[in-house]
Amino acid sequence: MTSDKELGNLSGSYALNGLDAADLAEFEAHLGQSPATRDEVTELTDTAVLLGLATRPVQPSAGLKASIMDQLDAHPQLPVASTVAASSAAASSAAFESPAGRKAQARWFTRPVTALAAVAAAIALFVGGGVVTTSLAQNSFAQQQADQLAAINSADDAQRASVDLADGGTATLVWSNTLLSSALIVDGLAPLPADRTYELWYINDAGARPAGTFGVAGSGSTWRVLDGTMKAGDTVGVTVETRGGSDAPTTDPVVVIASA
């Protein structure tokens, strides 16, 4: 165990993203307990930004922007209010009084680092490989959703069901009836043309409720926490819809998983 004084010494390296893995975990735990360290890290991070702005700007190639704009549909935006992350941040917000403290709080409690690691491990269990975890590390939407998936996966009543897909892949649903929430993990789903998207549905006797859209990259592997509230016994389906999604399914589902 490292002393607080030694940990406080890591603030500069933290602001430069220079900490080795073991130090990083210990320092982030320390950040949660030390408002003074948080303030210092906030200021040193702002200082590091000035180092970044002192580098020579580089004009991107002409194709880069078009390539990014084309991918926006496959990268859903986070909703404005955080759910799980917000409640955990509120629980640990006691010591943020100064403006720097509030700034620090806002920054340091928005990265569900431990949840992310837990989810990466869980997904590796489901699909048995590194494909999904690779994209996870680079994808912040996944990072943000990681809290929710970790919560579902660690719920006392977490359940899962897998189905084989027509063209050889698998889809796994993990859900919790107490959390009213579920996530779908797919492996081997075919990528879609740019004007189409996969759309998730909660389905029961009353009909199908839209639960978010997603795209898959070349590997065909991804995962997504479903939007909205799951009702006990809902079936989860995936259809191919036009870009932007539909209010009701317009094609036959490519994935159907019953949660009962």
Footprint on this chain of other proteins (rule: CB under 8 A) = 6, 9-13, 15-20, 23, 39-40, 42-61, 64-65, 67-69, 71-72, 75-80, 82, 98-100, 102-103, 106-107, 110, 137-141, 144
Looking at 54-186, list the stretches that DSSP marks H as alpha helix, in order from N- to C-terminal side.
62-71, 84-91, 99-108, 113-127, 131-138, 140-154
Backbone φ/ψ region at 237: left (φ over 0), alpha (ψ -120 to 50), beta: beta
- In terms of CB distance, is 32 or 253 closer to other proteins? 32
**Least distance in Å: CB of 218 to other proteins?**
13
**Least distance in Å: CB of 132 to other proteins?**
16
- In terms of CB distance, is 145 or 239 closer to other proteins? 145
**Least distance in Å: CB of 71 to other proteins?**
6
How is residue 163 written in tokens?
A: 């189905």
- In terms of CB distance, is 75 or 231 closer to other proteins? 75
Cβ-Cβ contacts under 8 Å for 152 (sequence gap 6 or more): 158, 174, 175, 176, 179, 181, 182, 183, 225
**Least distance in Å: CB of 187 to other proteins?**
21
Q: Which has the closest alpha carbon to 183: 164, 205, 160? A: 160
CA dihedral 160, 165, 169, 170 (to 10 degrees): 0
- In terms of CB distance, is 6 or 164 closer to other proteins? 6
Residue 217 to residues 118, 238, 241: CA-CA distances in angstroms? Answer: 23, 16, 17
- In terms of CB distance, is 79 or 218 closer to other proteins? 79
- In terms of CB distance, is 45 or 246 closer to other proteins? 45
**Least distance in Å: CB of 174 to other proteins?**
22
Exposure pattern of 148-167 as b/e (b: 16+ CB <10 Å)? bbbbbbebeebebeeeebee
**Least distance in Å: CB of 246 to other proteins?**
17
Sheet hosting strand 235-242, strand order edge to edge: 207-214, 196-204, 235-242, 255-258
- In terms of CB distance, is 66 or 91 closer to other proteins? 66
**Least distance in Å: CB of 47 to other proteins?**
4
At 100, is the secondary structure helix, strand, or coil?
helix
